[in-house]
A and B are shown apart, each in its own frame.
Chain A
Amino acid sequence: MAAKNTLDLSMNKYADVPYEEKERLFEEMKADHRWNHVLYGCYECGICVAACPSARFYDFSPRVIAQAAAREDVDLVYTLMNDSVWDCSQCFSCDRCPRQNSPGQIITVMREVAVKNGLKTAKEALEGYGRIIYKIMSTGTQVSPDMLQPNAFPDWGGHVKDISDNLDVWRKALPPETLHTTETGWQITDKTIIELYLIWHMTGVMKLIEGVDEGLFMILVDVMEERLEEAGYDNISFD
Chain B
Amino acid sequence: MSYDATFRVWRGDAEGGDLQSFTVAVNEGEVVLDVIHRLQSTQVGDLAVRWNCKAGKCGSCSAEINGRPRLMCMTRMSTFGEDETVTVTPLRAFPVIRDLVTDVSFNYEQAARIPAFTPKAREEDGNHRMQQVDVERSQEFRKCIECWLCQDVCHVIRDHEGNKAAFSGPRFMIRLAELDMHPLDTVDRRDAAQDEFGLGYCNITKCCSEVCPEGIHITDNGIIPLKERVVDRRFDPLTWLGSKIGRRPQA
Q: Do A and B come from one complex?
A: no
B residues engaging A (CB < 8 A)? Answer: none
A: residues with CB less than 8 A from B are none
